[in-house]
């Protein structure tokens, strides 16, 4: 989803400018705006294409809205979770070198993750629709585990 948000920003559309302002202030883009981007994205795709969203849903509200939109397009959803420790997550995000990747912003995002995203993960886990991969392994093993985990979903 991050790439799609960056594409929107680059378009300099009204929606893109709204997203840019939010991201540059160090905040997460609100659910309604994310769903607006999802709607645009889904409308561009054929139903025969598999979709992998990266970074959403992050909240239970987003999850409900996304699942509804996918169902309206005749699609089902599963989630993939790549797990890493908090320290590894901060180190990786800080190494990206993006303007909004400060340690304070990272800590806020991790707090948000614990409060808002963990319940989403648990809902997918409870429904039996969660693939989990250890993200602290080598890149080749993570890639192999991801491929093995999502292959049945495609």
Spatial CB neighbours of 123, under 8 Å, sequence gap ≥ 6: 60, 63
| Domain ranges (residues) in the chain | 78-154
Instruction: State residue 12's pLDDT score.
Output: 94
Q: What is the mean pLDDT of the chain?
A: 90
Task: Tell whether domain 78-154 is in CATH 3.40.50.300.
Answer: yes
Instruction: State residue 38's pLDDT score.
Output: 92
User: What pLDDT digit, counting tens, does each position of 31-66 carry?
Assistant: 899 999 999 988 888 777 778 888 889 899 999 999
Instruction: State residue 144's pLDDT score.
Output: 97
CB 35 within 8 A of CB 66: yes
d(CA 46, CA 154): 15
**How many CA atoms lie within 13 Å of 26's alpha carbon, on the beta-carbon side?**
12
Q: Is the pLDDT of residue 69 over 80?
A: yes
User: What pLDDT digit, counting tens, does each position of 18-28 carry?
Assistant: 999 999 888 88
> Averaged over 79-87, what is the pLDDT?
93
């Amino acid at each position: 989803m991050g790439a799609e948000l960056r594409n929107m920003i680059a378009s300099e559309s009204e929606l893109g400018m709204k997203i840019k302002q939010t991201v540059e202030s160090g905040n997460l883009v609100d659910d309604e705006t994310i769903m607006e981007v999802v709607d645009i994205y889904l409308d561009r795709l054929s139903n025969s294409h598999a979709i992998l969203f990266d970074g959403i849903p992050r909240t239970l509200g987003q999850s409900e809205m996304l699942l509804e939109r996918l169902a309206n397009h005749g699609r089902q959803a599963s989630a993939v979770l790549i797990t890493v420790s908090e320290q590894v997550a901060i180190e990786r995000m800080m190494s990206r070198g993006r303007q909004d990747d400060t340690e304070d912003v990272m800590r806020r995002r991790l707090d948000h993750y614990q409060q808002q995203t963990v319940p989403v993960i648990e809902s997918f886990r409870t429904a039996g629709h969660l693939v989990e991969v250890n993200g602290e392994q080598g890149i080749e093993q993570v890639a192999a585990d991801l491929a093995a985990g999502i292959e049945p979903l495609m």
